[in-house]
């Protein structure tokens, strides 16, 4: 089993801190990981994204976001998320 984890927001409570802190992760088996890597590689080629560059939602076009979601939803990947409202 493979697990990929990411977070968004910050843990602070001072002025200017984010209102939410989010931890999300996906799980998959080895075969699914290989399929995912191949499909993401093809998407990067389609959108002319360099090999070592991470796809970031905040800087991606709507079309790239939709294509990434289509790839993920086409594979047996489990998605989990924990959201904390810091207020």
Per-residue confidence (pLDDT) for residue 58, from 0 to 100: 84
Q: What is the pTM of this model?
A: 0.80
Query: With a cut of 50, which residues of the chain have pLDDT below it?
Result: none
pLDDT (0 to 100) of residue 6: 93
Residue ranges of the domains in the chain? 2-85
Instruction: Considering only the C-alpha atoms of the chain, give the largest distance between any 2 of them, rounded to a whole number of Å.
Output: 45
pLDDT reported for residue 66? 97
């Amino acid at each position: 089993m493979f697990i990929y984890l990411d977070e968004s927001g910050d843990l602070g409570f001072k002025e200017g801190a984010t209102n939410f802190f989010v931890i999300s992760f996906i799980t998959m088996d080895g075969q699914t990981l290989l399929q995912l890597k191949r499909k993401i590689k093809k998407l990067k080629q389609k959108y002319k994204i360099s090999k070592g560059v991470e796809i970031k939602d905040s800087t991606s076009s709507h079309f790239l976001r939709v294509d990434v979601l289509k790839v993920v939803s086409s594979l047996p990947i489990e998605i989990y998320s924990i959201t904390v409202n810091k207020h």
